[in-house]
Structures are given as C-alpha cells and as structure tokens.
Amino acid sequence: MTADCDVLIAGAGLVGQALAPALAAAGLTVALADRAPMTVPEPPAGDTDWDARVYAISPGSASLLRALGAWQALPSERITPIETMHVEGDDGGALNFSAYEIGERALAWIVEERALREALVPLVHTAGVATHAPRAIASIRWSSAAGEVRFEDGGSIAARLIVGADGIRSRVREAAGITGAPKPYGQTAVVANFGCERAHHGRAYQWFRDDGGILAWLPLPGRRVSIVWSAPEPLADELLALDSSALALRVAAAGANALGAFESLTPAAAFPLSFLKLPMVVAHRVALVGDAAHGVHPLAGQGVNLGFGDVAALATVLRERGPVEDAGAPVLLDRYARLRAGPVRAMQTVTDALAHLFRINAPWIRSARNLGLSAVERMPPARRLLAQSALR
C-alpha cells in the first residue's frame, strides 16, 4: 500500500479543523475527511442571534488558536472573559476563583462554536489541506506502511498516519481495535442562552444540586448568559418539554435569581453525557484525539480544551520528529501518548470523581463534600493550584 499523504484526519469538528493546519505547518501533507460538508458558517443574523453551543476556551487553548491564526479572526464583540467563578455545593459549601488572583486576564473565554468554525475553516483551506467532505467512510484497513480509508462513494486515501478525530463513537477507534465503550452518566446536558435582568460582570456560576445535577451559567456579551444544566434524564426531559417562558423562570429560580429575571434567547438543545477512558490512544498507524480519545463530564468545561491539548501535543511531536520521516512511526506515536497520558488522566479523575461524589445522598457524605469546598476556599494556595491546572 503506497501512501497518498502523510496524515489523514478523520473528523472535521473543531479539534480536527485545528489539527489540520497545525500539521501542515509542521511540513506534512495532510488530508481531512468528514461525512458532513465543511463550510464556513453563516454570520450571525444581528445581535439577537446567538449560538446555543458555546465553549469555555482556556488560556492554553487560546494560545494554540492564536498560534494557528484563528484567535485573531474571532469577533471580539462576541467573546466574553470569565474573570471570576462562584461554585456552590448542595449543602452550604462554596468556592470562588478569580483570574486576578492568579495573574491572568481571564479564567477562560466564552466563544460560540459557530465563531470558532468560522475562524478555523479558512485556515484549513489556506494551509493546503486536501478536504474530502462530504464523504462517508465505508471501511479502514492497514498495511505495514500505511492505513487506507475507503469511502462509500468508491474512492480511497492512504496515509502513513490516520488520526481519529471523529467523536465519542469513533469509527477509526473501532477499526483500529482500541476497545472502550462510553459509559453513560444517566444525565443530559441541557443548553440554552438567556437574557438576564442584571449584569453578570464576567462571573460564571456553578451549582451542585441535591438531585445530583449540576447547573452552570456562563457569561455572554452584555446582559446574556449561556447555561449548561447537566440534569438527571427525567429532569432533562421535563426541562426540554417546557416552553421558553417557563424554562427561563425555571433556570433563573434554580440559580436563586442571582442575575434577576431571565428571558429565553435560543431554544434548548440536549446532549447525552458519558465517560470514556481508553487503555491506549495510539495503535499501528493510528492516533486518537478529542472525544475519540477521551470523554469527560462537562462540569469543568474542559472537553474541548483536552482536545486542543491533544492537537498541541501531536503537532509538537510531529514537528520535532527530527530524522524520522514517517509520521506514523511507533516512536512518534508513543511520544504523543506519553505526553497526553498525565493531563488527560488527571482531568478525567477529578471530573468523574466530582460527578459521582455529588450524586451520593448520604448525609455524612453531603456534609463532607461541602466542608471540602469551603476548606479549599479558605486555602488560597490550593485554590490557585486548582485554577492554574485547569487553565493550562
């Protein structure tokens, strides 16, 4: 099997779109394939048009996007810095983070998915990446020298390295024989945007609720917020069935009306939540990135940041490959796997433990976890360490 390119990226989500120009800049020939068309999204239709799906982009991820040239292309008037964050437990515990306290401009920046795609898609094209979209993958096979993707339309591409950026139900992962099934949390993330009566002043809020759910309010420009309510499935079904006015009342009340009355700006959308931990993220001529490589609870807002961390690590390894010309060489893939093992394991351990801890209803455990939150609040060094770890 003769390779047509160095790297084929399967999956043109945000992580795949960021990885493609990063690898092209490393001197590799790159192809990007996805079953959906890869087009620049339509610009927002006025100040009332806000994407319901937003991301909390960490300073580390912002640095990656800036190096690619994507951050500079984002519309500044539609980005909001999270300058402080208030976290409440389900029994009086509380914890506060401040960007000022750790010497940062922001803990994270809230950016619409649409804006990120609008910034990344042109970079893919200008980097000389060969795009194959829409093209659905029919099968994948490997030889000693390359991996070959065959498409449902009959064509095929062979590459020295195939990168699975195709989501939590990754076709590449399955074809490579990397075993690991997503484990449902029994929760659904309900997301929507709202206008709020009072200014948020760049503060994000998060409540661990006594029903095991987690509610987050994320600041948008002006008097607007985006919410992620990780709700037990029966509650999520109930929330999704509400009309816009009733949902706005319910969300405001769930946050103790901290920002006054709410007004719905977008319909609610839903995303089932699951945890994915794999025994490995590389195999013969395969590397996994993003949700194909790991799944975490959204309570820390770190899913896409872990994916961008994968991009930075893989691009660094392949850029610094030295005399090793083969992008799929085992020594390079092992190097990538080692780089990502620690950060991913740490984030998965913390988020999964917190998600399960706050679902236990035993009174003594409820008291202990809330005391723990308050104890960290009283220890500035520990609080700064937690914040700095998440930022990077």
> H/E/C letters for each residue in 16-46?
HHHHHHHHHHCCCCEEEECCCCCCCCCCCCC
pLDDT of residue 388: 73
pLDDT of residue 360: 85
Mean pLDDT along residues 370-391: 76
Q: Give the separation between CA 303 and CA 287, rounded to whole angstroms.
A: 18
Mean pLDDT along residues 326-346: 96
Nearest to 217 by CA among 199, 233, 236, 243: 199
Q: What are phi and psi of 351, to 5 degrees?
A: -70, -40
Mean pLDDT along residues 158-169: 97
Mean pLDDT along residues 178-193: 94
Total-model pTM: 0.94
Name which of 110-114, 175-179, 311-315, 385-389 the model is least confident about. Answer: 385-389
Mean pLDDT along residues 72-90: 94
What percentage of residues in the chain have a pLDDT greater than 70? 99
Joined tokens for residue 368: 């202990």
pLDDT of residue 390: 65
Coil, helix or strand at residue 311: helix
**Mean pLDDT, the chain, integer:** 93
- Edge-first strand order for the sheet with 108-112 is 54-57, 108-112, 80-82
Buried b (16+ CB within 10 A) or exposed e, 170-204: bbbbebbebebeeeebebbbbbbbbbbeeebebbb
Cα dist from 149 to 130, 166, 180, 288, whole Å: 14, 13, 22, 15
Give the DSSP H/E element, type plus range, for residue 68: helix 59-68
Name which of 193-202, 279-288, 342-351, 369-378 the model is least confident about. Answer: 369-378
Joined tokens for residue 238: 């109930």
pLDDT(137) > 70: yes
Q: What is the identity of the amino acid at 76?
A: S
Give the DSSP H/E element, type plus range, for residue 318: helix 303-319
Mean pLDDT along residues 2-28: 96
pLDDT band at 16 (very low <50, low <70, confident <90, very high): very high
Between the ranges 12-21, 34-43, 371-380, where is the mean pLDDT highest? Answer: 12-21
For 345-360, write each residue's pLDDT tens digit: 988 998 898 888 888 8
pLDDT band at 1 (very low <50, low <70, confident <90, very high): low
Q: What is the dihedral of CA 4, 8, 12, 13, to 10 degrees?
A: -170
Mean pLDDT along residues 274-279: 95
pLDDT of residue 391: 64
Adjacent-strand bridge partners of 217:
205, 227
